[in-house]
Structure 1
Amino acid sequence: MQALPIFIKITNRLCVVIGGGDVASRKVNMLLKANAAVLVISPNICHELQALAEAQKIQYMQASYAAAQLQGACLVIAATDDAAANAAVSRDAQAFNIPVNVVDSPGLCTFTMASIVERSPIVIAISSEGNAPVLARYIRTKIETMLPTGYGRIAAIAGEFRDKVKAKFATTQERRIFWEGVLQGPIIERILSGQEAAARKALDDVLSEKAEVKNRGEVYLVGGGPGDPDLLTFRALRLMQQCDVCVYDKLVSPEVMELVRRDADLIYVGKVRDQHTLPQEEINELLAKLALQGKRVLRLKGGDPFIFGRGGEEIETLMQHGVPFQVVPGITAANGVSSYAGIPLTHRDYAQACLFITGHLKDGTLDLDWVAMSRPRQTVVIYMGLVGLTQICQQLIAHGVSPDMPAAVIQQGTTQRQRVVTATLSDLAEKVTAAEMKAPCLTIIGEVVQLREKLNWFEPNAKGHL
């Protein structure tokens, strides 16, 4: 290690930036985040710095550089395109014992600017000591994807309770054990899911009862998206990695399942038409039962839990049992599959509305709102409509939709097994049968389907355009 990583408090302290271009602007913005009093010195400044000066967020001195300008500064940054001026700033700052950074010149620096991951008050700085700033930024990006934005809120709430914890636990070891229990339990999940009031109450309860943090069970109702694991949210992935048991559906792709914690218990409750592994009511009770046993239960669903996913029914049961839960939305099939098929759901020339329909009702009948589905200038997206596809097409034509209306059926959309059949209402069912399409499939009906020929961009390994 060639440099000591430290954090310097510069709140309301003078920081001088020599230079007025875009690079100087980026450095100024970083200093302002730390509440510094910034003075920019340059003959000219860019529009961004001019706006900051006019808003009185920085001081601006329109002048060429002179050593006397550094007097009183706690640090200096040189960001000009003049090598001689940059060298002079470095030399003068060091003579005044002021820390100095010269952009892109490690040899002239007494400190370097790290690449920052900010979850204030948590701040992570990555430095290559000026040797590889692009690599440092790349590492920062990796950490950004791993660290939830809510960690800053965790730190802030921990700060609020610091004195209370110190008053209860006499030794450092006792306090460490307490906080480790908190960080691994449901209180943290409440903070990360935005339930900060509930988290504070839980911490107060634990401290007032002088009890250990209990690892109470919880249910994570997570949307697994349409199939491509890259479409998962950061929160979904984090919860998938920390669950004790995963209750999952048939529509969750194998690639997504691969990301579930390796040693979690897996319980399959998938549904095939008229063949339910577990009735929905029993699934609801199973989730509550597992959570009441103290387990962290991942209820993993394809698409989004609240769009034909029966998530509402499941959390009603959880609420009846007093089980904590959180809901993580997923990209629903209509959005993900249509995008990967190159079919925009709305388009100002073809469709100003979009209608989501489930292809079978609760009692298994096909009694849909055909009038609403037959309106012009809209896109109709049908989930789970493969079995009733012939009747759907016939009914739409009977209710006034043109037999030549473009339509498509997409099988296993967003995955490398994606297959697409495009046709018209008059021959869609026939072509789908000939192609031996299998569930899960999504049906899209509307003028927007004709755009697929122009907008198709996704090429799965197994060529899927029929």
Structure 2
Amino acid sequence: MKYFPVFIDAQHTHCLIVGAGEVAARKLELMLKTTAQITVVAPWVSDAVNELAKHPNVSLLTRSFEDNDLQAKTLVFVATDKPEVNQHIHDLAHSKGILVNVVDNTPLCKFITPSIVDRSPIIIAMSSGGVAPVLLRYIRQKLESVIPSKVSLLGEFSEKFREKVKRGLKSVTDRRYFWEEVLDGDIGENVLQGNASLAEKQLDDALTEYKAGNKPKGQVYLVGAGPGDPDLLTFRALRLMQKADVVVYDRLVSKDILELVRRDAEKIYVGKAKSNHTIPQEDINELLAKLALEGNRVVRLKGGDPFIFGRGGEEIQTLIAHGVDFQVVPGITAASGAASYAGIPLTHRDHAQSVTFTTGHLRDNSIDLDWPALAKNNHTLVFYMGLTGLPIICRELIANGLPDDMPIALIENATRSNQRVLSGTLSNIVDLAADAQIQPPTLIIVGTVVTLHSQLNWFGAQQS
């Protein structure tokens, strides 16, 4: 980060604004949202500044800037139309260790003012470092539309009971759990609906229960992370990732998605590389149960969907055996994501009236599938985990009746910025894949729908 985001205690801040035109008026209006003391100095004063200066926190000096105006100031905005004056004030303030902002001159800014969503006492501040102000306004508009104005009531409610909860619950972890349960549940909903008295009683009751040791049990959330693009996460998946104590994730979960996990959550990697299952599935199952029984909220983050070649069913059976509560959050499975981002419809009335998802995973150097049932026309086949077994897949499909010129596509790193799509036929795809050095994770699609890729491809990723 070029700019470190901090919030300054405005109650103990004395701000100097040099200049009194329209630009200075915007800074003055912003500072008047705080409790700071403000001094404005300028030889000429606009009507807007004159009106705002009627506020009791504002002192207006109608004269040119003098060096001693910086005395006892903690924050300075410079908004004059004289470059030499702006430079002088910047240099002088910087030499005194005073934060200074020369408006619309980023190199002369020791701090910048963020774009703000104000739901006091809840404040959201955003910055692009001065490089994309229009984009920042766009993001702010989006946030303004989704954050209810009444969220300020939750802030006030939390402030009112903060010390009481702190006295009652000594552990930081216990307090975090407690507040999350409060804000996510009926108490928070009653606050938002204006039922403050009922919410206060509920909080007192909940705090009593918590202090008595009647805390919520640990729980496991099996969350589908989708094929890789973080924009494909569900809202629910993101919410649970933000409240997890522990995240157990596999190799198919992208770094971009892991960035969305709560910062202080423990992250445990249990990934399986191609032909190298370093952690047995049974051990993963037991680990999830153990973590939950210790009182943690555990997110088991899986690439794709937990119930489509994700072994989610096996993990749940272990959780049930240990009496652990769980939830399942579906995700966009790899087949759907890869096909969509490659412009290959899995069904099309001119090409395929059905689709089969199957595993191409090798076991004892073979793939035990019902090849005669798979090798049929007007049908799409999707193979998960089939890159190592690609020669066997092609050989068996041809041997069981598919023509050797049947189209096939390999989709590497589906939905990600480095996605590659390699098209060929059953007879030549093995050599093409070797030449292109295709790597896992790669999904395989077989069928005449693959011929639509060149026409329908919209993602613009790398093609082969």
TM-score, normalising length from structure 1? Answer: 0.58
- Are the equivalent residues in 2 in contact too, given 1:222–1:299 (CA < 8 A)? yes
Q: Counterpart of 1:276 in 2: which secondary structure?
A: coil
What's the counterpart of residue 344 of structure 1? 345
Match of 1:351, as an amino acid? A
Q: Within 5 A, what are the aligned runs for 1:294-373?
A: 294-360=295-361, 365-373=366-374
Q: Is the 8 A contact 2:362 2:388 kept in 1?
A: no
8 A Cα contact 2:274 2:440, kept in partner: no
Deviation at 1:185, TM superposition (A): 3.6
1:465 matches 2:449 = no
Kept in 1, the 8 Å contact 2:220–2:298? The answer is yes
Q: Does 1:184 align with 2:180?
A: yes
Q: Distance in 1 between matches of 2:389 and 2:342?
A: 22
| Aligned-partner Cα distance in 2 for 1:364–1:299 | 30
Alignment of 1:38-53 (within 5 A): none
- Tell me the amino acid that sits aligned with residue 231 of structure 2: D
Q: What is the letter of the counterpart of residue 415 of structure 1?
A: R
SS of 2:463's equivalent?
Answer: coil
Correspondence list, 1:160-309, <5 A: 183-185=179-181, 188=184, 211=212, 213-309=214-310
In structure 2, what is the Cα distance between the partners aligned to 1:363 and 1:185? 49
1:218 and 1:278, CA in 2 relative to 1: closer, same or farther beyond 3 A? Answer: same
Per-residue CA deviation, residues 239-272 of structure 1 (Å, 9 max, x unaligned), is 1122111111011111111111222211111112
Q: Aligned ranges for residues 65-80 of structure 1 at < 5 Å?
A: none
Query: Residues 340 and 330 (structure 1 numbering): CA distance in 2 closer, same or farther, change over 3 Å?
Result: same
On the 8 A contact 1:370/1:399 being kept in 2, the answer is yes
**Map of 1:452 onto structure 2:** 453
Post-superposition shift, 1:274?
Answer: 3.3
1-structure distance, mates of 2:238, 2:251: 19
Q: Call closer, same or farther: CA 1:139–1:172 in 2, change over 3 Å.
A: closer
3-state DSSP of counterpart to 1:271 = coil
The separation in 1 between residues aligned to 2:322 and 2:390, in whole angstroms, is 40
Q: What TM-score do the two structures reach when normalised by structure 2?
A: 0.59
Would you say the 8 A contact 2:221–2:300 is kept in 1? yes
Structure 1 residue 142, shift from structure 2 partner: 2.9
Which residue number corresponds to residue 420 of structure 2? 419
Q: Answer yes or no: is the 8 Å Cα contact 1:269–1:276 preserved in 2.
A: no
Distance in 1 of aligned mates of 2:187 and 2:324: 16
Displacement after TM superposition at 1:273 (Å): 3.3
Q: C-alpha separation between the residues in 1 aligned to 2:228 and 2:210? A: 46
Counterpart secondary structure, 1:457:
coil
**Aligned-partner Cα distance in 2 for 1:449–1:191:** 53
2:424 aligns to what SS in structure 1? strand
Shift of 1:375: 1.8
Kept after mapping to 1: 8 A contact 2:381/2:446:
yes
Shift of 1:173: 8.4
**CA–CA distance in structure 1, aligned partners of residues 251 and 459 of structure 2:** 24
CA-based RMSD of the aligned residues comes to 4.3
Distance 1:145 1:405, change over 3 A: farther
Change (3 A) 1:209 1:420: closer
**Matched residues in 1 for 2:388 and 2:182: separation?**
42
Matches of 1:246 and 1:443, distance apart in 2: 29
What's the CA shift for 1:360? 1.9
Q: Who is 1:6 aligned against? A: none
CA contact (8 A) 1:337 1:414 kept: yes
- Structure 1 residues 284-334: Cα deviation after superposition (integer angstroms, max 9, x where no partner): 000010111111111111001110000111011111111121111111000
Task: State the one-letter code of the partner of 2:307.
Answer: F
1:111-126 maps to which residues of 2 (within 5 A)?
none
1:276, distance to aligned residue in structure 2 (A): 1.6
Q: CA deviation at 1:345?
A: 0.6
Equivalent-residue separation in structure 1 for 2:182 and 2:220 (angstroms): 10
Deviates more, 1:209-218 or 1:294-303: 209-218
- Tell me by how many angstroms 1:141 deviates: 4.2
Q: What is the identity, as a one-letter code, of the residue corresponding to 2:267?
A: L
Secondary structure, aligned partner of 1:286: helix
**Residues 404 and 393 from structure 1, CA distance in 2 versus in 1: closer, same or farther, beyond 3 angstroms?**
same
Q: 1:349-399, CA deviations, whole angstroms, 9 ceiling, x for partnerless residues?
A: 111111001112677741111122112211100000001111111111111
Q: Which residue of 2 aligns with 1:89?
A: none
* CA contact 1:224–1:256 (8 Å) conserved in 2: yes
Q: Could you tell me which amino acid in structure 1 is paired with residue 446 of structure 2?
A: I
What amino acid sits opposite 2:276 in the alignment?
A: Q
Q: Give the aligned residue type for 1:465.
A: Q
Aligned residues of 2:165 and 2:207 also touching (Cα < 8 A): no
Does structure 2 conserve the Cα–Cα contact (< 8 Å) formed by 1:181 and 1:213?
Answer: no
- Structure 2 contact 209–215 (Cα < 8 Å) conserved: no
Alignment of 1:4-43 (within 5 A): none
Counterpart-to-counterpart distance in 1, 2:257 and 2:396: 36
Gaps spanning 5+ residues in structure 1: where?
2-134, 156-170, 193-202
Q: Cα gap change, 1:265/1:174 in structure 2, threshold over 3 Å: closer, same or farther?
A: closer
Tell me by how many angstroms 1:189 deviates: 7.9
Query: Shift in Å at residue 421 of structure 1?
Result: 0.7
Shift in CA distance, 297/442, structure 1 to aligned 2, threshold 3 Å: same
Distance 1:254 1:191, change over 3 A: farther
What's the offset of the Cα at 1:438? 0.7
CA 1:331–1:146 in 2, change beyond 3 Å: closer, same or farther? farther
- Give 1:407 deviation, angstroms: 0.7
Identity, % of aligned positions: 54
Could you say if the C-alpha distance between residues 208 and 270 of structure 1 is closer, same or farther in structure 2, counting changes exceeding 3 Å? closer
Structure 2 residue aligned with 1:438? 439
| Displacement of 1:402 | 1.2
CA distance in 1, matches of 2:323, 2:286: 12
- Structure 2: distance between partners of 1:344 and 1:281: 36
Q: How many residues align?
A: 317
Residue 86 (structure 2) aligns with:
none
Task: Give the Cα separation in 2 of the matches to 1:175 and 1:249.
Answer: 37
